[in-house]
Structure 1
Amino acid sequence: MEHYSDNPKPEGRALAAAVRSGSGGPDHPTRNAGFGIYVHWPFCAAKCPYCDFNSHVRHKPVDQARFLAAFKSEIAHFAERTPDRQVSSIFFGGGTPSLMEPEILAGILDAIHWHWAVEPEAEISMEANPQSVEADRFKAYRKAGINRLSLGVQALNDGDLKFLGRLHNVDEAVNAIELARQTFPRLSFDLIYARPGQNVKDWTEELKRALDYAADHLSLYQLTIEQETPFWALQHAGKLVVPSQDEAAELYQVTQAICEEAGLPAYETSNHAVPGAESRHNLIYWRYGEYVGVGPGAHGRLVGTNGRSRFATATERNPERWLSLVEANQHGTITDDELLAEEQGDEFLVMGLRLHEGIDLARYQALSGRRIDPRRVEDLLSHNMIERLAPIAAGSNSEDRIRATKDGAIVLDAVVADLAI
């Protein structure tokens, strides 16, 4: 691991080991998919008009030390519920986590290391925006422990960056990419396509330029108009027109082909990587693993102490209310629901069918307590919406593994709905 201001003390590790040795019960079917920690920093310098994430602009300085104390409390709370886990990934999302002072981020990482065993090669990611004032801090974040950076570039066109509400320009984005490549072992950056007026020729040129800058991972998202965003209001007022479904589908297919040819095939609907460089943290989500969510508006999926049940957690979204709740109760949880077997099965389908590696239908049955109707599987196979895969493990049943085809990926929601009935 990289340097931390304080290493976990031996007595803390011994206590964790003692708790682990006392845990029992059969493992939940999601246990072997990994265990991650998601940390949500909710503040941004500006709110983008397409964004429906839990992000907030504050015109007065945020009391970061007070928030650090709250993060430590909530981490301790969730550690009590998950004492026997080994952390394989940590992800700082937002908001804009790169607005955090590096020592605040380091303090959060210290708390995670204190309460859980963390794998020596754990992936520790942070989202960042390309403004030069933040890029100058990259070395400090690296020293604190970040080994993977995810840059919110979004476009390589100054006009579209302005349209998307971004505070950086293309030159700043390119400079940030170059500095990040020099500083972090791993780098990803995001782009948004299917923007108003964008055609295949323009997107092809922009994407190929992005691939010239890319390291080993790209996240390429289709612009979606979310409710209660400024773009939603503009669209419903007739002032914003995005590409049609057919045009967007063509842009998606072009994206897949160009990235595959460049050696960054899609391993998930919107994510492309050199084989072996996939986002380990996001794979925990898509493989329906277990993760703790700390910070305002963070979500988690936790296996119960009996090893069989699974809980959906969510914390208070408003940063100041979350802070007050944590200071009063040690955590800001407002949702802590045990998921029904059917709900777990549905979530597994929604997440897993986004992956190129597909899903194991036997695992679906273990989660949901029921089989998918073989007739539905055969119908989707006959319409080239899904395909069967060879088994991953020796001795497993190849008939139990499926994935969406390229045609099925375009209408993935409909494929999931057909299987879940």
Structure 2
Amino acid sequence: MNQFIDAYLIELDSYQHVLNGKIIKSIFFGGGTPSLAPPVFFEKVINKISKYSTLAPQIEVTLEANPTSSEAKKFYDYSRAGVNRVSIGIQSFNQKYLKFLGREHSADEAREAISYAAKYFSRYSFDLIYALPEQSLKSWEEELSAAIKYTNKHISVYQLTIEKGTQFYGDYKKKKFTMPNQNIAADFYYITQNILSKYDMPQYEISNHAAQGEESIHNMTYWEYGDYLGIGAGAHGRYTFNNIKYATVNTHLPEKWLKQIEERGNAIQHKEELSEDEQNEEKIIMGLRLSKGVDKKLLFNKRKYKQLLEDGYLDEGENLVRATEKGRLVLNRLISELIV
């Protein structure tokens, strides 16, 4: 483990020129199971970043964590190491659905993990997945309503999607389970919005809800097309240096990533300068996920833009354009049509 910790610090050294003079608003430990790392790892990474830049007074340092008992019991140690927010992969409080989703934790462990989070962190979040096979609208309404009491002003909710190349896709093609049809899926979505709005956690992004002022700084950086460095195996980054926007992708395999870090100080597999058109496209893709929308001055497909406004999929304000509730139901199609 020490070898990997050292590699992360070496990789951060390679970005000294980017970090110098910056004010860091968010550090996010995610991708896989970062909570399996020892607390000293997080402390060393945070200290290394602070060596080259200034940590904002209200910096958000988030750790993605699984709700198994063994991980939840480390929350105190993580808080001592500098983590001040956890995002817990609950996914469901229903034992049947946890089994379907292949989760190792139980519903009781999920609740216990949240109690640990509430004890050691002033801010935490967890996620739930809905529109599952055989899930009724009533059962989801009951589960989400019951989950409200465990929230801390932020929750992520995702509709289950079946993607090619996954075990879910193989089982789905073999008809081992069926998915809700499009109309039922829309009903799930509307119920979700109604319940969370009722409890003052409106949607601020397609899958994220929060009380005002409790939005995730890390996530907002993505969706508002801010700069971020991707550190570690398979990490993606977007950052600006000398007025040029760069996109980076790291080597995916951890062993190969480690070898490249030790040999040359970084493990960048792909790096490119993003053109104005490419940045425009990415701003649309990310920004339309936000409830507030994106800048009207971005370059949209004008014909499609006008048609989508007329059809009620978009709503135009003075400076911003956003997807309506109708538009958010088909957001991916909406975005693909708007891109020039």
TM-score, length basis structure 2: 0.97
User: Which position in structure 2 is the counterpart of 1:130?
Assistant: 67
Moved more, 380-389 or 330-339: 380-389
What RMSD, in angstroms, separates the aligned Cα atoms of the two structures? 1.3
* 8 Å contact from structure 2 (residues 315, 322) kept in 1: yes
Q: What do residues 336-385 of structure 1 show as CA deviations (whole Å, max 9, x unaligned)?
A: 011222211111101000101111122x2xxxxxx435554332221111
Match of 1:420 in 2: 339
Aligned pair in 2 of structure 1 residues 82, 111: CA closer, same or farther (>3 Å)?
A: closer
Deviations 1:380-414, CA, capped at 9 Å, x for gaps: 2211111123xxxxxxxx1x311110001001122
Task: Kindly indicate whether the alpha-carbon contact (under 8 Å) linking 1:217 and 1:264 is maintained by their aligned counterparts in 2.
Answer: yes
Q: How does 1:343-358 map to 2 (within 5 A)?
A: 343-358=278-293
What does residue 264 of structure 1 align with?
A: 201
Structure 1 stretch 103-112 or stretch 80-89: which is displaced more?
Answer: 80-89
- Report the Cα distance in structure 1 between the residues aligned to 2:328 and 2:311, rounded to whole angstroms: 13
Aligned pair partner of 2:134 in 197, 200, 203 = 197
Contact 1:286–1:351 at 8 Å: present in 2 too? yes
Q: Distance in 1 between matches of 2:181 and 2:14?
A: 47
The structural deviation recorded for 1:142 is 0.6
Of 237, 249, 252, 1:300 maps to 237
Superposed, 1:299-378 pairs within 5 Å as 299-305=236-242, 307=243, 309-362=244-297, 364=298, 371-372=299-300, 374-378=302-306
- Quote the offset at 1:80 in angstroms: 2.2
Query: What is the distance in 1 between the residues matched to 2:4 and 2:164?
Result: 29
Equivalent of 1:163 in 71, 82, 100: 100
- Structure 1: state its 5+ residue gaps: 1-63, 365-370, 390-397
Select the residue among 115, 118, 121 that pairs with 1:184.
121
Displacement after TM superposition at 1:314 (Å): 0.7
- What TM-score, normalized by structure 1, do the two folds share? 0.78
How far off is 1:111 after superposition?
1.1
Equivalent-residue separation in structure 1 for 2:259 and 2:164 (angstroms): 28
Aligned to 1:139: 76
* Inter-partner Cα distance in structure 2 for 1:256 and 1:404: 15
User: 3-state SS of the aligned residue for 2:89?
Assistant: strand
- The answer as to 2:175 corresponding to 1:238 is yes
Mapping 1:373-412, distance limit 5 Å: 374-389=302-317, 398=318, 400-412=319-331
Question: Which whole-Å CA distance do the structure 2 matches of 1:410 and 1:257 have between them?
Answer: 15
Return the offset for 1:146. 1.0
> Do the aligned residues in 2 keep the contact of 1:126 with 1:150 (CA within 8 Å)?
yes
* Total equivalences in the alignment: 340
Residue by residue over 1:245-288, the C-alpha shift from the partner in whole angstroms, topping out at 9 and shown as x without a partner, is: 22212111111111001111000000000111000110000001
The 1:192/1:373 distance shift into structure 2, 3 A limit, reads: closer
- Alignment match, 1:13: none
1:231–1:240 contact (8 Å) kept in structure 2:
no
What is the CA–CA distance in structure 2 between the aligned matches of 1:293 and 1:203, rounded to whole Å? 36
Q: Secondary structure at the match of 2:249?
A: strand
Q: Structure 1 residues 261 and 310 mapped into 2: Cα distance closer, same or farther (>3 Å)? A: same
Distance across 1 between alignment mates of 2:2 and 2:200: 43
| Structure 2, gaps ≥5 residues long | none
State the match for 1:280 in structure 2. 217
- Does 1 or 2 have the higher relative contact order (CA < 8 Å, sep 6+)? 1
Other-structure match for 1:70: 7
Identity %: 41
Does the 8 Å CA contact 1:268/1:355 hold for their aligned counterparts?
Answer: yes
Counterpart amino acid of residue 163 in structure 2: E
Q: Give the letter aligned to residue 331 of structure 1.
A: N
Question: Which whole-Å deviations, capped at 9, do the CAs of 1:25-68 have from their partners, x for residues lacking one?
Answer: xxxxxxxxxxxxxxxxxxxxxxxxxxxxxxxxxxxxxxx11111
* Alpha-carbon contact 2:301-2:337 (below 8 Å) kept: no
- Counterpart residue type for residue 309 of structure 2: L
